[in-house]
Structure 1
Amino acid sequence: MQEYLDHKLECPYCGTIRLRIPADATESTEIRCDDCGKPLGTWGELQDDFVKQGGHDGVFRLSRGRIKRIE
């Protein structure tokens, strides 16, 4: 089982996984890194990537724009 998230969720510019997600985000809303402000993709793309990496069946949970480790 994978222990770390990567791909679209990790900012390619600063390396952190902190998402700036508006409360009214839709599938096509552009999401930016909360640390450096660079674009990461659309909300739909980021959710798909999260699920692809184990998502809700893995060791992480995505809730209200926050990624939490499940232990």
Structure 2
Amino acid sequence: MQTPKKRSREIPTKNIERIARDASNNAIMNAFNCGISITRMQGDDIVKVYPDGTTEFIKRLENSSVKPEKRRYRI
């Protein structure tokens, strides 16, 4: 008797991106509906956004997008 093969459940990257974006948007809306502020990145700045739409600057991140140096390997 052969054992049944397990089916691969790979989810395409675009679906994962959409699901993550939708979950993030839902979390933001739930926080605002409860009167809770959120903290997020806005460009290179970290800001707190309140349910009424006002923003409060917290901190600027220097070098927020750092590209690692190329590594060379010799064989």
- Tell me whether the two structures share a fold, i.e. TM-score over 0.5: no
TM bin, normalised by shorter chain, reads: under 0.3
Give the number of the structure whose residues are more often helix, by fraction.
Answer: 2
When normalised by structure 2's length, the TM-score is 0.25
Higher strand share: 1
TM-score normalised to the size of structure 1? 0.26
- The structure with higher relative contact order (CA 8 Å, sep 6+) is 1
